[in-house]
């Protein structure tokens, strides 16, 4: 599932976009998300984008941090 529709005009360099896309796909797959209109999909996308804006550019770390943020008590 592409991350592009969730960028809302925000721009990133190609390497960061690739990293973000990999993290988003992996997180969605792990959560079993396939529907772009699912509110959890939107939350995952926004989390990936927010972390990337702060400088995180490792796909595995991005995915793990997003998943951890969703499981906090």
> Tokens in use for 61?
């770390």
Cα–Cα distance for residue pair 19/7, rounded to 1 Å? 14
pLDDT above 80: residue 72:
no
- The per-residue pLDDT for range 30-71, each reduced to its tens digit, is 999 988 888 999 999 999 999 999 999 999 999 999 999 988
Which pLDDT score is estimated for 73? 64
Phi-psi region of 13 (alpha: psi -120 to 50; beta: other; left: phi over 0): beta
pTM: 0.89
- The per-residue pLDDT for range 8-33, each reduced to its tens digit, is 888 899 999 999 999 999 999 999 99
Which pLDDT score is estimated for 59? 96
């Amino acid at each position: 599932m592409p991350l592009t529709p969730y960028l809302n005009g925000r721009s990133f360099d190609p390497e960061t976009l690739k990293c973000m896309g990999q993290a988003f796909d992996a997180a969605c797959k792990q959560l079993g998300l396939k529907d772009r209109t699912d509110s959890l999909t939107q939350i995952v996308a926004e989390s990936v984008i927010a972390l990337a804006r702060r400088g995180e550019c490792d796909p595995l770390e991005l995915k793990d941090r997003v998943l951890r943020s969703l499981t906090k008590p």
